[in-house]
Amino acid sequence: MAETGKLEAKPVSFEDLIKWEKIKYEAPELTGKIETPCIKENASLSYKAQLYKGKDAIARLGYPTEGLIPNWKEKFLEKMDEMLKKYRSVRLFMDICVRCGACTNKCHYYLGTGDPNNMPVARAELMRKIYRRYFTPQGKLLGKKLTNSEDLTEEMLALWYTYFYQCSECRRCSVYCPYGIDTAEITMAAREIMNSIGIVQKYMHEIVDKAQYIGNNLGMIPDAVRNAIEFVETDLQEQTGLDIKIPIDQKGAEILFVTPSADFFASPHIESLYGYAKVFHQAGISWTMSTYASEGGNFGLFVHNYNNMKIINKRIWDASRELGVKRVVGGECGHMWRVLSSYSNTLNGPFDWLNPKYSIPQHICEFTLDLINKGALKLDKSANDEFTVTFHDSCQVARGMEMGGTASGQYEIPRAVIKACVNKFVDMPENTIKEKTFCCGAGQGLLGDDMLPIRVKGAMPRMQAVKVVKDSHGVNFLALICAICKAQMSKMFPTYGYPMEEVGGIHQLVSRAIVFGAKEGI
């Protein structure tokens, strides 16, 4: 008889445990306050991510294609062992948590759902329970009873799938942890362990595959990329009467510019492409985009599997060498910035042929600010007078590497560009910006429509902060530098009752303010 004493409990299959169902969602009323919620057990247990069924793609990515493999337990523990050895930090994070609780109310998904498994420490405990049971002498000897651990069961695996896909790997929790425990690392390892036994989430892996084999996240073939860029070029020329070019695959250009493919497909992303092109035009520096390296964002970062991240990153590496450029500049993209600045050298080797005088890579905000400081860009702030602007620090930038060679560059540089383009700028409350920034709620593989219920909950802290500056200063433009943030926020604004048009990129503001003709100081 089952432990609970229930007779005839219907056996549920693993597929049932993680079955995706459409769930109605509604945005909570905004109050401007971010309060720690009361614990609601299992509040977001039913929010699942869709599983990937694209067998060819899954095979290309190197994972089992038929769903959960029969000998999954054995493989799971093997893979976990490998992860613990390969990523020493993950093993360390298993051992050193003292359960002080400092991280508990720092995660936007916990704040939004009240589900205790979304407390960073509890999320990590899902892995620790298995760790203690199978990887410590006590656990091996005594089993789960005395060691606060768990057996590896289908129920446990379902909890993993649920809650490791309710983490956007934003690393906010690590800022508050006295030991610097980074739950994002644990999530990445957990996802890779699940991949290895055939539990492959759809949204992000479909995209990783497209980025590897077609060259960008949207799966745009070179002709489609060209068509989109040429459209923007023509439109720019019509608007300005100037011969503004967006060069494609041009050998010998000074700069290779890489940006998320969303920037030549979606709104409001595309508005920043207008801005980038105007900046390059005004600077008079030769530049090119690439149909081969037509993606900045590297979703390979979302799981601990350097192989996929490496293949995606190599496109940029190859293109910059083949085109013979001297600099690589990256557009408004959080994950690209993190991979290019922190991992690229280890993945594919250094960019030896680039000019070391400039940051490798250079962020478009740094590039633009440099021109502004040299007096090479003239900006008319009054062109943006209809806006009162605030800035959302994208977590992958804010908690990634410094920008422009100074420790706080990733906070100051984007703000300096905005302030050069607008008269009215105000920051959101201090505990929601810079290194303490809240994720938009859709990062690292959670942007799919299947995840909308959790996206709405996870966006709550950011939306509360937006409300504060809306009420106090009449903010009506949220400036962003990440394609996912743009997609997520332009969906969340209307969901929370604000106009979608109030969301856009920093270079959208630059685009409106730039004054052509003035050309000095380069």
Partner 1 sequence: MATVEFQGKQVEIDEDGYLVNLDEWTKELGEKMATDDGLSLTEAHWEVINFLRDYYQKYQIAPMIKILVKEIAKILGPEKGNTKYLYELFPDGPAKQACRYAGLPKPTGCV
Q: Quick one: three-class SS letters along 485-521?
A: HHHHHHHHHHHCCCCHHHEEEHHHHHHHHEECCCCCC
Compute the C-alpha angle 328/258/303, nearest 5°.
105
167 binds, among ligand SF4, partner 1, none (CB under 5 to 8 A by kind): ligand SF4
Q: Does 171 bind ligand SF4 (CB under 6 A)?
A: yes
257 neighbors 288 (Cβ within 8 angstroms): yes
Give whichever of 100 and 242 is closer to ligand SF4, judged by the CB atom: 100
Q: Output the six-digit token pair for 108.
A: 């936007």
Give whichever of 51 and 303 is closer to partner 1, judged by the CB atom: 51
Q: Which stretch in 54-62, 92-100, 204-212, 281-289 sits in contact with ligand SF4 by CB under 6 A?
A: 92-100
Give whichever of 210 and 455 is closer to partner 1, judged by the CB atom: 210
Sheet hosting strand 287-288, strand order edge to edge: 287-288, 255-258, 327-330, 362-363
- Identify any residues that bridge with 403 across adjacent strands, giving them in sequence order: 406
Q: What is the length of the chain?
A: 522
β-pair type (327-330, 255-258): parallel
262 binds, among ligand SF4, partner 1, none (CB under 5 to 8 A by kind): partner 1
Provide the minimum distance between the beta carbon of 104 and ligand SF4 in the complex, in angstroms, as a whole number. Answer: 7
Q: Does 100 bind ligand SF4 (CB under 6 A)?
A: yes
Question: Which of residues 50, 105, 240, 342 is near partner 1 by CB under 8 A?
Answer: 50
Give whichever of 266 and 285 is closer to partner 1, judged by the CB atom: 266
Q: Does 102 bind ligand SF4 (CB under 6 A)?
A: yes
Provide the minimum distance between the beta carbon of 434 and partner 1 in the complex, in angstroms, as a whole number. Answer: 23
Interacting residues of 505 by C-beta distance below 8 A, sequence separation 6+: 268, 269, 271, 272, 275, 332, 479, 480, 481, 486
Q: Does 449 bind partner 1 (CB under 8 A)?
A: yes
Phi, psi (5° rounding) for residue 478? -105, 110
The residue ranges of DSSP E strands in 245-366, in sequence order, are: 255-258, 287-288, 327-330, 362-363
β-pair type (514-515, 378-379): antiparallel
Q: Which stretch in 99-107, 273-281, 466-474, 501-509 sits in contact with ligand SF4 by CB under 6 A?
A: 99-107
Q: Does 203 bind partner 1 (CB under 8 A)?
A: yes
Give whichever of 183 and 320 is closer to ligand SF4, judged by the CB atom: 183
What binding mask, one character per residue, do residues 428-467 give for ligand SF4 by CB under 6 A, x or -?
-----------xx-xxx-----------------------
CA distance 311 to 348: 9
Q: Does 59 bind partner 1 (CB under 8 A)?
A: no
- Of 292, 298, 296, give the one whose Cα is nearest residue 323: 292
- Of 148, 370, 140, give the one whose Cα is nearest residue 255: 370
300 binds, among ligand SF4, partner 1, none (CB under 5 to 8 A by kind): none
The counts of H helices and E strands in the chain are 23, 9
SS3 content of the chain, % helix, strand, coil (to 5): 50, 5, 45
Q: Does 206 bind partner 1 (CB under 8 A)?
A: yes
Give whichever of 380 and 501 is closer to partner 1, judged by the CB atom: 501
Give whichever of 97 and 489 is closer to partner 1, judged by the CB atom: 489
474: left (phi over 0), alpha (psi -120 to 50) or beta: left
Q: Does 47 bind partner 1 (CB under 8 A)?
A: no
Q: Which stretch in 202-210, 247-255, 317-325, 412-420 sits in contact with partner 1 by CB under 8 A?
A: 202-210
Question: Which of residues 179, 292, 306, 358 is near ligand SF4 by CB under 6 A?
Answer: 179
Question: Which of residues 272, 396, 432, 490 is near ligand SF4 by CB under 6 A?
Answer: 396
99 binds, among partner 1, ligand SF4, none (CB under 5 to 8 A by kind): ligand SF4
- Of 124, 116, 63, give the one whose Cα is nearest residue 90: 124
Which residues are near partner 1 by CB under 8 A?
A: 20, 50, 53, 203, 206-207, 210, 216-221, 223-224, 227-228, 231-232, 235, 260-262, 264-267, 269-270, 297, 333, 447-450, 483-484, 486-487
Which residues are near ligand SF4 by CB under 6 A?
A: 97-103, 106-107, 109, 120-121, 123, 167-173, 177, 179, 181, 183-184, 187, 334, 394-396, 439-440, 442-444, 482, 484-485
